[in-house]
Chains A and B, each alone.
Chain A
Amino acid sequence: MNQHNEPDSVARFLRENRREVADNGFTEKVMERLPRRYEQLATLIRWIGGAAAVILFIILGGMEWLVASGEHIWHSFCAQQWGDPQLHAFLTLLAGLAIVGLSNLLLHDDC
């Protein structure tokens, strides 16, 4: 019977073939795909915050402090290990050459 109580083969055929679809993890998949409400806003805040931190770091002299600290650590390390001031310069030069050499190696690799 259809909604108007008329018996007909089409209505009967379609109703007989109506079936419930088991969930089988479908809902979990949907919930995983749902965007978090403030996801985009949170991402934007992270990027703005990160950019602001980098700019402030540079403006407030963070780079100079970083270089000075690095030099101090390197010289302290050399003095502790070998105690020879001239060796410091030599080791620094060696490290610089190694970096340049490695860069050239990588460049040639690309060709």
Chain B
Amino acid sequence: MKTLTDLSLIAQAVIGHNRRAFDTLVRKYQSQVRRFFLHQTLGNEFLSDDLAQETFIRAWLGLGSFRGLSDFSTWLLRIAYNVHYDYLRNRKETTGLDSLPPGGEGMCEQPPLDAHVDLYQALALLRPDERTCMTLFYMEDLTIAKIASVTGLPEGTVKSHLSRGKAKLSNYLKQHGYESA
């Protein structure tokens, strides 16, 4: 039913140029997309919202190319991943590799709650692709196949990133006394 509703909204937006239908889609998926960017940017809300807006604009412009072979959310996350990748590439071109902080693109500019400080500090330990795979797998409940579809990485590479990411985070959590279940 969820897929049928999304397809119906997409059809209305594409065929009928119905902006209200797209508005509904944005409201439905804005949380997931913005959360994705918050994780990739380590809590930078302004940057996340900018990137998320860019994602939805690209989605609007490319809506006619959505074939329904995957979930709309997966398709949207693929766009989000590419938007983030373009942002990183542009940043590297303008600032140079040496100026990038190890394992992260920037620190929080907002004073988040304690839990989020720990989360972003933990995520900062990971390389960008490791962070993407870990957050998509554990926080967005995507399968390895879907993560591979979103990122364009082979499934074996996704598994490697998950394995390394999990090891780093596990070590971090032990060091900070986080109790396992």
Contact = CB atoms under 8 A, between A and B. Distances in A.
A108 interface: no
Contacts of B166: 8, 10
B23 interface: yes
B164 to A, nearest CB: 12
Contacts of B34: 21, 26
B179 interface: yes
A35 B59 CA distance: 12
Interface in B143-178: 143, 166, 169-170, 173-174, 178
Given A8-B180, A10-B169, A17-B119, A31 B19 contact: yes
Interface residues of A, number: 28
Contacts of A26: 26, 30, 34, 49, 52-53
Contacts of A22: 31
Contact of A15 (B38, B52, B139): B139
A11 interface: yes
A21 B139 contact: no
Nearest to B61: A35
B135 A33 contact: no
B145 to A, nearest CB: 12
B27 A27 contact: yes
Interface string A35-79: 101000000000000000000000000000000000000000000
A47 to B, nearest CB: 23
B161 to A, nearest CB: 13
Contact of A11 (B19, B116, B122, B138): B138
Of the candidates A3, A13, A15, the one having the most CB atoms from chain B within 10 angstroms of its own CB is: A13
Interface in A12-34: 12-23, 26-27, 29-31, 33-34
Interface of B: 17, 19, 22-23, 26-27, 30-31, 34-35, 38, 49, 52-53, 56-57, 60-61, 115-116, 118-119, 122, 134-135, 137-139, 141, 143, 166, 169-170, 173-174, 178-181
Interface of A: 2-3, 7-23, 26-27, 29-31, 33-35, 37
